[in-house]
Amino acid sequence: MRFDPATLVYDDHGLIPAIAQDHVSGKVLMLAWMNADAVARTLETGRVTYWSRSRQAFWVKGETSGHVQELVEMRVDCDRDCLLILVEQTGPACHTNRRSCFYTGIKDGAETELMAPEV
Amino acid sequence: MRFDPATLVYDDHGLIPAIAQDHVSGKVLMLAWMNADAVARTLETGRVTYWSRSRQAFWVKGETSGHVQELVEMRVDCDRDCLLILVEQTGPACHTNRRSCFYTGIKDGAETELMAPEV
Question: Looking at residue B56, which CATH number applies to its domain?
Answer: 3.10.20.810
The per-residue pLDDT for range A99-112, each reduced to its tens digit, is 999 999 999 999 99
Q: How many CB pairs under 8 A join A and B?
A: 105
Residue B9 placed within a domain: no
A36 touching B, CB under 8 A? no
Give every residue of chain A whose pLDDT is below 50, as ranges: none
Residue of B28, B76, B79 with shortest CB distance to A28:
B28
Residue B107 placed within a domain: no
Burial of B88 (0-12, 13-18, 19+ CB in 10 A): middle
User: B57-60 and B49-52: which strand pairing?
Assistant: antiparallel
B42 touching A, CB under 8 A? no
B114 touching A, CB under 8 A? yes
A31 contacts in B (CB within 8 Å)? 17, 19, 77, 82
Residue A32 placed within a domain: yes
The per-residue pLDDT for range B57-113, each reduced to its tens digit, is 999 999 999 999 999 999 999 999 999 999 999 999 999 999 999 999 999 999 999
Residue A53 placed within a domain: yes
Phi/psi of residue B63, nearest 5 degrees = -60, -40
Residue A107 placed within a domain: no
C-alpha distances out from residue B60 to A77, B27, B51, Å:
20, 21, 8
What percentage of residues in chain A have a pLDDT greater than 90? Answer: 98
B105 contacts in A (CB within 8 Å)? 73-75
Domain count, chain A: 1
Cα separation, A60 vs A107, whole angstroms: 34
ipTM score for this prediction: 0.97
Residue A119 placed within a domain: no
Cα separation, A9 vs A1, whole angstroms: 17
Residue A40 placed within a domain: yes
pLDDT for B1:
83
User: A83-89 and A16-22: which strand pairing?
Assistant: parallel
Residue B31 placed within a domain: yes
Give the residue numbers spanning the domain of A83: 15-90
